[in-house]
């Protein structure tokens, strides 16, 4: 393929998604990553892919894909999914043209499209986002390619480094010794909980934010029994708790969960024991003590009597409306629903005072919370697709944006008139005439969850900098403009406890016995946890659950999980 070289001036980089982490990685600063250092290494490499390579493909390379569009994914100025500010930059600068073979409305519709294609023999798009059983079916179909050689040849040093520092994500796509997809890399705090408290209630009752279970109980008791809202009625309780998750994990909702009580022995995850082998966290002895403590709190009225039927939204509504004084939720809850409640209260001349705090130590005196997944999905590539170099040039460009590279082409936003406008030579993110519209849905690929991957960038992250009042560069200014202070503070607090996160030790495909028995086992687990918390069973019933869990397939699954984990080391 003939190629010509074009040059563009470096532009100040922007946040990818909501924000990016601190720091800047330039091509000349990046350490070279040797082939032996990469999990994808298969052979020696004599050339190193260049970061921010603006070499343009001539003739252009067309990449087909699928896109899921929600009603809110609107466009302006005559733009289309294949012709918008993002696609135009990649076409005009790099010669990469996006063409959508499938346009769907959601992930389930995309799954249907994939399965129909596998059945009918229809050609797949060049690139697809796929995980779970769809990913497994695609691997089995042999209609997607392994990326080992392409990654080693075309991935830039900084991209290789990001995976080198988060190697566990490869287990999501590694099958039969080969890599059948490119995982996204989580920033590590997308779903990490912090403790949100009614700060005005703390002040009124002369209390401090709790740091352990004993202090936490004292605060909950006061919030339940000491009339923190001052209405003369006993109509409040300590903790918002929504156990109706819809996915058989009653103590781990995406908001209003109770995970902190388990500390480092988090249920629903595979945890390494003292013998080095993995054990299912829900069967660890300390879980019984934690469930017993939740039962005690329920009996004392510290949590809603309806917690078992409340979903996350309903439980958080109790918190934001003044029924409950504490809720565990991610940093983004500072925008919705917490920040939304504050804004609505102001319109009624009312004042609500919420504040995020680090989570307290759990039942064993250890701080622990469920870690955000290392990845939120994978990209797979059609067997026979030849333009993997273009894939990794696209990937490196967007990855640079996530690490505040000054050469990111989307310095101020994804599109002028969409998420920013220029006024007097400066970007304005708040006063867009027709309102803000996100263009994220129109990215061919996105390397992660909007901010830099875990372990990649040292020093204070951008949330911590902005929370401390810094607005020295466009990244900090954009973050401050696009997010409320509660959201910024929430994520800043979440980062304080990254070293306390509990990550599952198993990321592989479902084992043979999992495929057969897992649904039955997690239903048993959910029923047991709820029965104990509600007081319908004593905490000792947990021992019966563990016995049944092992007998009904859990022991065999544990064996298979450990065998798989040993095989990929």
- Please give the Cα distance from 259 to 427 (Å, whole number): 41
Q: Are 19 and 56 in contact (CB under 8 A)?
A: no
End-to-end CA distance of the chain: 39
- pLDDT tens for 475-530 read 889 999 999 999 999 999 999 999 999 999 998 778 999 999 999 999 999 999 99
* pTM of the full structure: 0.86
Closest CA to 93 of 28, 5, 1, 16: 5
pLDDT in the model for residue 347: 92
Cα→Cα distances 227→123, 232, 237, 439, Å: 65, 6, 9, 47
Q: If DSSP codes are grouped into helix, strand and coil, which group holds residue 422?
A: strand
- Please give the Cα distance from 335 to 346 (Å, whole number): 15
Per DSSP bridges, beta strands 354-357 and 270-272 are unpaired
pLDDT in the model for residue 46: 56
Structure token digits, residue 494? 């979440």
- Please give the Cα distance from 135 to 132 (Å, whole number): 5
pLDDT in the model for residue 27: 32
- pLDDT tens for 321-376 read 999 999 999 999 999 999 999 999 999 988 899 999 999 999 999 999 999 888 98
pLDDT in the model for residue 374: 86
Neighbours of 445 (CB within 10 A): 18
- Please give the Cα distance from 171 to 294 (Å, whole number): 35
Tell me which residues of the chain have a pLDDT lower than 70. Answer: 1-46, 569
Residue 82: CB partners within 8 Å, gap ≥ 6? 98, 99, 100
pLDDT in the model for residue 3: 39
């Amino acid at each position: 393929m003939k190629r010509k070289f074009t040059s563009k001036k470096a532009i100040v980089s922007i946040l990818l998604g909501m924000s990016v982490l601190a720091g800047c990685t330039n091509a000349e600063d990046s350490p070279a990553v040797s082939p032996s250092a990469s999990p994808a290494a298969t052979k020696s490499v004599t050339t190193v892919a260049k970061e921010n390579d603006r070499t343009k493909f001539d003739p252009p390379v067309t990449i087909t894909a699928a896109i899921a569009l929600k009603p809110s994914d609107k466009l302006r100025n005559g733009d289309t999914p294949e012709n918008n500010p993002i696609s135009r930059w990649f076409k005009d600068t790099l010669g990469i043209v996006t063409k959508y073979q499938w346009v769907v409305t959601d992930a389930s519709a995309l799954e249907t499209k994939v399965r129909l294609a596998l059945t009918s023999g229809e050609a797949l798009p060049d690139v697809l986002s796929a995980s779970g059983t769809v990913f497994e079916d695609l691997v089995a179909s042999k209609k997607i390619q392994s990326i080992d050689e392409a990654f080693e040849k075309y991935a830039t040093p900084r991209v290789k480094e990001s995976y080198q520092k988060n190697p566990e994500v490869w287990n999501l796509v590694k099958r039969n010794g080969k890599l059948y997809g490119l995982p996204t890399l989580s920033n590590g705090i997308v779903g990490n909980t912090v403790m949100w408290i009614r700060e005005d209630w703390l002040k009124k009752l002369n209390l401090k934010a709790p740091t352990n279970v004993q202090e936490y109980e004292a605060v909950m008791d006061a919030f339940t029994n000491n009339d923190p809202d001052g209405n003369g009625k006993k109509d409040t309780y300590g903790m918002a708790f929504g156990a109706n998750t819809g996915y058989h994990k009653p103590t781990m909702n995406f908001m209003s969960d109770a995970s902190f009580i388990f500390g480092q022995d988090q249920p629903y995850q595979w945890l390494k024991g003292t013998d080095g082998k993995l054990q299912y966290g829900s069967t660890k002895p300390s879980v019984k003590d934690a469930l017993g403590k939740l039962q005690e709190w329920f009996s004392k009225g510290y949590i809603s009597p309806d917690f078992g039927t409340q979903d996350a939204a309903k439980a958080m509504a109790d918190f934001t409306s003044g029924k409950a004084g504490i809720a565990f939720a991610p940093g983004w809850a500072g925008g919705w629903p917490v920040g939304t409640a504050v804004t609505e209260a102001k319109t009624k001349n009312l004042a609500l005072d919420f504040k995020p705090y680090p989570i307290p130590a759990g039942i064993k005196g250890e701080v622990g919370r469920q870690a955000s997944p290392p990845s939120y999905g994978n990209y797979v590539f059609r067997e026979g697709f030849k333009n993997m170099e273009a894939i990794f040039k696209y990937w490196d460009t967007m990855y640079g944006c996530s690490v505040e590279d000054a050469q990111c082409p989307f310095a101020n936003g994804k599109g002028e008139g969409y998420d920013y406008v220029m006024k007097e030579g400066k970007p304005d993110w708040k006063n867009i005439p027709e309102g803000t519209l996100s263009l994220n849905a129109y990215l061919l690929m996105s390397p992660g969850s909007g901010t830099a991957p875990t372990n990649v960038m040292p020093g204070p992250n951008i949330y911590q900098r902005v929370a401390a009042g810094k607005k020295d560069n466009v990244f900090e200014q954009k973050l401050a403009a696009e997010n409320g202070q509660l959201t910024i503070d929430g994520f800043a607090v979440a980062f304080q406890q990254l070293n306390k996160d509990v990550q599952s030790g198993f990321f592989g495909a479902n084992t043979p016995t999992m495929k057969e028995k897992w649904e039955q086992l997690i239903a048993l687990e959910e029923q047991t946890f709820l029965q104990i918390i509600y007081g319908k069973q004593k905490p000792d019933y947990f021992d019966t659950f563990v016995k049944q869990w092992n007998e009904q397939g859990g022991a065999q699954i544990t064996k298979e999980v450990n065998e798989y984990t040993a095989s990929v080391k």
